[in-house]
Amino acid sequence: MANQLSQLDQVFAALADPTRRAIVMRLCAGEASVGELAEPFEMALPSFMKHVHVLELSGLVQSEKSGRVRTCRLSPEALVGAEDWFQHQRAIWEARLDRFEAYVMKLKKERAAAKQSSKATEKTTNKPSKRKGTE
Amino acid sequence: MANQLSQLDQVFAALADPTRRAIVMRLCAGEASVGELAEPFEMALPSFMKHVHVLELSGLVQSEKSGRVRTCRLSPEALVGAEDWFQHQRAIWEARLDRFEAYVMKLKKERAAAKQSSKATEKTTNKPSKRKGTE
DNA sequence: TCTATAGTTAGCTTGATGGCTAACCAATTA
DNA sequence: TAATTGGTTAGCCATCAAGCTAACTATAGA
């Protein structure tokens, strides 16, 4: 669990750099050697290798050396893990919106009821409209 | 576009810190003052404020001061933007898996056809099975 | 076997990040 | 009006991140 959290740290930190995001995007399209990956960047190779290394540490990328060429591929589990984090937050957020809306509805109802009781007998219990989007 | 990219940088960098993720999670459940937010952490207040500031710069959090208390709330657009990035990558990744599978199927077909032509007339065009999962 | 290629290691510089304390407003509240 | 509360500013320090060059290893190809 704590380990998983620090994994999230590493994944987000890895993705905070545009070079590394570009590498991930490239690898989504298929595996590639370090040289192929590095080619579009102006950076010196050792600098570039650091990025690859960060991606490996984060679990986003795996690599394997065969002969003198190191081939990198995406290992999407870490990516999915991070995506899950967002979905979880969104679920909580949306549940809260729902609760908030329910609360507003309850207030409306109570106010209507108060009006009713003061005005004595008049039935206007208008149904609340359904969710109006994500805001 | 470039601006949006650097926004992604900032959002991911903001989320790379467990304190800041905790703040975001807390704010998913509803707005809170700086003091309320800081309460669970052992950190000195100025240090904590830095985290809040980073979150504000990233666009994940908005805040407003009324009297002497500053109230923070989530501004979920940035969160959604980051989530979109994942979904986009996943779409590319999955399309690639599909293409890869199609390629394998084509190979199989060609091999079968080759066998057929060498064996002359024997019809065994076995239909390929459907997707077998994500890996 | 020599040479070019692909990557790696070591070590340096610069700037950002994450923490702290101390001192300082500015609203509330007694 | 004096004291408390909630937050802010300023400035320090240690560590990490991202880049570089130079020198090195190991494989592939001529």
A42-93 pLDDT, tens digit per residue, is 999 999 999 999 999 999 999 999 999 999 999 989 999 999 999 999 999 9
The domain that holds B8 is classified in CATH as 1.10.10.10
- pLDDT above 90: percentage of residues in chain A: 64
Residues B130 and B111 reside in one and the same domain? yes
Residues B10 and B44 reside in one and the same domain? yes
pLDDT over threshold 80, residue B116: no
Interface residues of A toward B, Cβ cutoff 8 Å, are: 5-6, 8-10, 12-13, 15-18, 21, 24-25, 28-30, 74, 76, 79-80, 82-83, 85-87, 89-90, 92-93, 96
Residues B45 and B99 reside in one and the same domain? no
Q: What is the pLDDT of residues B71-102, one digit of tens each?
A: 999 998 999 999 999 999 999 998 888 887 88
**Pairwise pLDDT comparison (B80 vs A123), residue with the higher score:** B80
Q: Is A84 among the domain residues?
A: no
Angle of helix B2-15 relative to helix A18-28, nearest 10 degrees, comes to 100
Is residue B63 within 8 Å of B52, Cβ to Cβ? yes
Q: Is A80 among the domain residues?
A: no
State which of A61-70, A111-120, B111-120 shows the largest mean pLDDT: A61-70
Q: Is B81 among the domain residues?
A: no
- pLDDT above 70: percentage of residues in chain A: 83
Q: Which pLDDT band, with edges at 50, 70 and 90, does B62 fall under?
A: very high
Q: Is B16 among the domain residues?
A: yes
pLDDT over threshold 90, residue A97: no
User: Which member of B12, B82, B96 has the closest CB to residue A30?
Assistant: B96
Q: Is B110 among the domain residues?
A: yes
**Domain span holding position B114:** 86-135
- pLDDT above 70: percentage of residues in chain B: 83
Bridge-based pairing state of the strands B69-74 and B32-33: antiparallel
Q: Which pLDDT band, with edges at 50, 70 and 90, does B115 fall under?
A: confident
Q: Which residue is nearest to nucleotide D5 (CA to C1')?
A: B68
Residues B58 and B99 reside in one and the same domain? no
Chain B residue numbers touching A28 (CB-CB < 8 A): 89, 92-93, 96
Chain A residue numbers touching B89 (CB-CB < 8 A): 24-25, 28, 79
DSSP, collapsed to helix, strand or coil, labels residue B64 as strand
Question: In this predicted structure, what is the pLDDT of residue A3?
Answer: 57
User: What is the C-alpha to C-alpha distance for residues B133 and B97, in angstroms, rounded to an integer?
Assistant: 10
Strand C lies under 7 A from the Cβ of residue B68: yes
Mean pLDDT, residues B11-36: 96
The domain total for chain A is 2
- Can you give the three-state secondary structure of B85-104, one letter per residue? HHHHHHHHHHHHHHHHHHHH
b/e map A41-58, b = 16+ CB within 10 Å: eeeeeeebeebbebbeeb
Residues A43 and A67 reside in one and the same domain? yes
Which nucleotide is the nearest neighbour of B51, by CA and C1'?
C18
**Protein-covered nucleotides on strand D (Cβ within 7 A):** 5-11, 17-22, 26-28
Q: Which two tokens stand for residue B125?
A: 């065009």
Q: Is A15 among the domain residues?
A: yes
Residues B71 and B90 reside in one and the same domain? no
Question: In this predicted structure, what is the pLDDT of residue A16?
Answer: 97
Residue ending a domain, choose from A75, A99, A127? A75
Residues A22 and A63 reside in one and the same domain? yes
Q: Which two tokens stand for residue A27?
A: 């690898």
Dihedral of the CA atoms A88, A94, A96, A98 (nearest 10)? -150
Residue that has been written with the tokens 């490239």 in this structure: A26
